[in-house]
């Protein structure tokens, strides 16, 4: 990677005069996935990818060309292709492109504790096998699996303005799942961990202890009654809140979607450009931030993939919609303030508006207070299913785990807990927000968007939250 970075830097110096603006984004990604299923080691999966995305702006036009050939000839060929595309667009473009990168920026972001050594393959497999063996020998437990995935990414962004921005990421993922089946019904419990940092993220998750808990809860669900159809309070745990944030706040606030770019594939948004600054998105308890600066969250970084400096930005303050998530291009098109969120899934994709770390700020209630404030409701945890319309407004989500709440106390387990709502109304019914003790930093590795498709990682952090008067229902009896 060091030699490739040197080649990129030399190239940008030699060819700075060839166009009005040139940027190169060198990305090298490596991943290792190890898994154990029913006490059997699965074949390991390794991947490695390296290449460069060339961006050219000339006479107000912007064009891209990607290459895995990082020699001078390969880079020159990409430059020629990008220039030819920019020239061909001159009479067809709807707007003039101008870079918003700040000249002369030097930066190097790296994940926390990235220098610490990782376990070798044998040590990872020993950890996974130990977790797998903790699942009890019960004929009703028909499937179980444990998995670890490590992703390392090195990125260098350079341009003709003198910017030189490096990024060294290490993302750690751990997964557990157990499925129980009694001949009539099947129930699944799972656990996911996703953060930046060292192997301690996985080891501190105590997969062996969690495997016993997850298996026990899967068996409890087999014996539990279905969630009754009702209208009541719902206490969503952080591992369900991240899905709620992602689908009904994150995607609706992506500025390119609001501008109509995604309508052919990922859909539009019920949010319109004239709502910012006054629209009541949620109750006064709702405070949402875009924050790529959180240490250890899955998608923290110092600058986005177009060199824009990242900072914490309030998107929703006391329930009022403040600004969208839009990179430099979308900001220019809309005349709206945005965020440093132009992101690409790799070297062969151009950046587009994406979520990075999208978080709900903690409130002031402990878990005991959240539960104690509910006379009639259901606690729901761990997403199992999701469905939402193209405008990211009407939704129906299902969870793995449910518990009824009566008169401020947790009662018995209920299975197949589902709820439905409308984004533009649901968040206004936010009635209680958990404090820092209920707050968890999490994320997802596979948010899809764009044509051609880009699957990117997204970070979410949230406390537990209570919503009033929610339509809930269960599965078939």
- Give me the torsion for CA of 195, 198, 202, 203, rounded to 10°: -150
pLDDT value at residue 252? 97
For residue 184, give the CATH number of its domain.
3.30.2290.10
Query: How many structural domains is the chain composed of?
Result: 2
Same domain, 385 and 401: yes
Same domain, 184 and 302: no
pLDDT digits (tens, 9 = 90+) for 340-360: 999 999 999 999 999 999 999
**Domain closes at, from 169, 204, 223:** 223
pLDDT digits (tens, 9 = 90+) for 44-57: 999 999 999 999 99
Same domain, 171 and 280: no
Rounded-to-integer distance, Cα 118 and Cα 253, Å: 37
User: What's CA 280's distance to the chain center, in Å?
Assistant: 25
pLDDT value at residue 19? 84
Output the six-digit token pair for 202: 């996985």
pLDDT digits (tens, 9 = 90+) for 234-290: 999 999 999 999 999 999 999 999 999 988 888 999 999 999 999 999 999 999 999
pLDDT digits (tens, 9 = 90+) for 141-182: 999 999 999 999 999 999 999 999 999 999 999 999 999 999
- Give phi and psi for 444, each to the nearest 5: -135, 145
Burial annotation 22-47 (CB, 10 A radius, 16+ → b, else e): bbbbbbbbebbbbbbeeeeeeeeeee
| Residue-by-residue DSSP string for 227-254 | PPPEEEEEEE-HHHHHHHHIIIIIGGGB
Same domain, 10 and 73: yes
Same domain, 49 and 194: yes
Among residues 176, 252, 230, which one has the least CA distance to residue 418? 230
CB 312 within 8 A of CB 460: no
**Domain closes at, from 223, 255, 282:** 223
Same domain, 163 and 66: yes
Rounded-to-integer distance, Cα 450 and Cα 444, Å: 17
Among residues 356, 352, 249, which one has the least CA distance to residue 298? 356
Q: Give just the sign of the alpha carbon dihedral 311, 161, 353, 321.
A: positive
Rounded-to-integer distance, Cα 290 and Cα 336, Å: 16
pLDDT value at residue 476? 62
Which stretches in the chain have pLDDT values below 50? Answer: 477
Same domain, 215 and 350: no
pLDDT value at residue 92? 81
Same domain, 141 and 245: no
Instruction: Give the domain range for residue 201.
Output: 2-223
pTM exceeds 0.85: yes
- Give me the torsion for CA of 100, 454, 426, 320, rounded to 10°: 0
Same domain, 170 and 257: no
CB 217 within 8 A of CB 179: no
Same domain, 181 and 265: no
Same domain, 345 and 240: yes
pLDDT value at residue 424? 85
Same domain, 397 and 298: yes
Which element (helix H / strand E) includes 169?
Answer: strand 164-181
Strands (E) located in 287-393: 288-290, 313-317, 320-321, 342-343, 352-353, 357-360, 376-388
**Domain closes at, from 178, 198, 223:** 223
First-residue to last-residue Cα distance in the chain: 58
């Amino acid at each position: 990677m060091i030699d490739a970075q040197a080649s990129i830097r030399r190239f940008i110096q030699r060819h700075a005069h060839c166009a009005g603006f040139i940027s190169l984004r060198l990305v090298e990604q490596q991943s290792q996935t190890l898994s154990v299923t029913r006490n059997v080691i699965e074949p390991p999966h390794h991947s490695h990818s390296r290449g460069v995305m060339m961006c050219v702006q000339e006479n107000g036009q912007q064009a891209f060309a990607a290459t895995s050939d990082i020699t001078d000839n390969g880079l020159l060929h990409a430059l020629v292709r990008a220039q030819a595309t920019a020239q061909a667009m001159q009479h067809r473009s709807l707007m003039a492109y101008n870079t918003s990168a700040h000249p002369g920026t030097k930066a190097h972001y790296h994940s926390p504790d990235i220098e610490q050594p990782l376990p070798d393959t044998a040590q990872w497999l020993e950890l996974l096998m130990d977790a797998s063996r903790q699942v009890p020998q019960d004929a009703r437990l028909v499937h179980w699996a444990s998995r670890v995935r490590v992703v390392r990414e090195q990125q260098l962004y350079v341009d003709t303005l003198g910017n030189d921005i490096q990024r060294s990421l290490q993302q750690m993922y751990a997964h557990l799942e157990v499925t129980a089946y009694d001949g009539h019904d099947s129930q699944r419990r799972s656990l996911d961990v996703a953060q930046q940092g060292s192997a301690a993220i996985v080891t501190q998750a105590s997969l062996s202890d969690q495997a016993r808990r997850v298996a026990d809860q899967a068996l409890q669900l087999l014996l539990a009654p279905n969630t009754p159809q009702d209208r009541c309070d719902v206490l969503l745990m952080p591992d369900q809140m991240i899905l709620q944030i992602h689908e009904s706040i994150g995607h609706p606030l992506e500025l390119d979607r609001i501008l109509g770019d995604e309508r052919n594939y990922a859909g539009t948004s019920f949010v319109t450009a004239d709502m910012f600054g006054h629209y009541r998105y949620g109750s006064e308890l709702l405070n949402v931030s875009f924050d790529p600066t959180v240490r250890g969250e899955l998608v923290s970084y110092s600058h986005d993939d177009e060199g824009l400096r990242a900072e914490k930005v309030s998107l929703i303050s006391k329930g009022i919609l403040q600004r969208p998530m839009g990179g430099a291009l979308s900001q220019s098109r809309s005349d709206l303030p945005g965020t440093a969120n132009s992101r690409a899934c790799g070297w062969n994709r151009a950046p587009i508006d994406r979520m990075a770390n999208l978080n709900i700020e903690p409130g002031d209630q402990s878990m005991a207070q959240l539960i104690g404030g509910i006379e009639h409701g259901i606690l729901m945890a761990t997403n199992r299913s999701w469905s939402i319309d193209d405008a990211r407004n009407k939704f129906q989500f299902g969870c793995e785990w449910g518990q009824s709440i009566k008169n401020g106390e947790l009662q018995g387990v209920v299975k197949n807990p589902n709820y439905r709502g409308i984004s533009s109304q649901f968040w206004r019914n936010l009635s209680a927000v958990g404090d820092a003790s209920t707050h968890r930093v999490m994320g997802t590795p596979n948010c899809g968007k764009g044509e051609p498709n880009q699957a990117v990682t997204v970070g979410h952090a949230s406390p537990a939250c209570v919503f009033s008067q929610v339509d809930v229902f269960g599965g078939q009896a």
